[in-house]
Structure 1
């Protein structure tokens, strides 16, 4: 789950959390206007939240993984995530 950021192969937790929150609020505020796209919006929210939950270590450990990837190597190599 989760989303890559800025066209590279890095996942940043804080921007993803913000984006998922804004998408969630959009669903709440504009649900009736979304029509057939409501299902896709809900799937997108679920995809982001599932990842964020998996990035949180066991309760009480105080560990949250906020970045996946190495910015130095990832920014020097442009490829599809499937080819990593």
Structure 2
């Protein structure tokens, strides 16, 4: 079934659309931010199908541990895609 994916949504848009958090960095703090954003959109805005770029889009991977943590966190995202500039 097709779905609408956007970076700009509004409260209760989850009935008809999904939300992508946009380009993020390849850092540990951005992993934390992706989880915080996911919980916020699920509980506060009522948008259950959300996700971010797994692995980050900007920056370089400083080690295999960082990508492993991104993959582990991404397994919990309702909308997960591995996307990186590198």
Whose RCO is larger (CA < 8 A, sep 6+)?
Answer: 1
**Greater per-residue strand proportion:** 2
TM over 0.5: no
**Normalised TM-score (structure 2):** 0.29
